[in-house]
Amino acid sequence: MNPMVLIQDLKTSILERLKTEAVVRTPASEADYFAVAEQLPFKLEYHNSEIITMGLASYWHEVLVMTIGGILQNVFAFSEEFTVLGSNSGVQIPKVEGGYYLPDIMVVKGEPVFKPNSTAIITNPYLLVEIHSPSTAQFDGDIKLPEYKHLESLQHIIYVNQNRARVSSYRRTDQPNTWINQEFFSLEEVMHVEGQEVLIKDIYRKIKFA
């Protein structure tokens, strides 16, 4: 089949299935993934030879992204060594079959290291934030989290629930394969990021829970 026709068929199939499916998984090659990703207005991820997408993000999801991004800009403002990025920058997962995730927020320490022939896929994230809903929680927690922990440069992972006050923090320790997990369920609690206090109520300050 003509490659252009194949890409158009993949694009059409994904858009059609998103009308009835919360999470769409489509078998595809790595090359097809990158080709389709350039043509759709929302983020696509790639795992185990499948394109995975949840479609457009909700209003509240984007409110959280901007709020947390602003908080992290303040946390890392003390050092020009850190750069805070949004969800249009991808992370390459160190696995044989290839994996590409687009975290909602990424912090890079020092100069970014890119996948060969790319200026969008980064291999050395320092901190990652994922904001999830009921439809994305399983994929974020069961699939992405273990893969993220294999990234040698990664020191801190933060998961934020958009439907209720719950923040999960995973910090790498000096011991191999050992992470400290802290769970925050109250708006009055305090999380530490790079030694600075982040109030849970500040993360959710613009969110209206159903």
Question: How many helices and strands (H and E) does the chain possess?
Answer: 6, 14
Distance CA 68, CA 203 (A): 6
Give the three-class secondary structure for 158.
strand
pLDDT(58) > 90: no
Q: What predicted TM-score, i.e. pTM, was given to this entire model?
A: 0.91
pLDDT of residue 55: 80
Which range in 4-13, 62-71, 96-105, 201-210 is most confidently predicted, on average pLDDT?
62-71
Are 92 and 119 a contacting pair, CB within 8 Å?
A: no
Q: What are residue 7's phi and psi, to 5 degrees?
A: -65, -40
Distance CA 22, CA 42 (A): 14
How large is the greatest C-alpha to C-alpha distance in the chain, in angstroms? 57
Residue found under tokens 């000096």: 174
Residue-wise pLDDT tens digits, 63-121 = 999 999 999 999 998 888 999 998 788 999 876 556 899 999 999 999 999 998 888 89
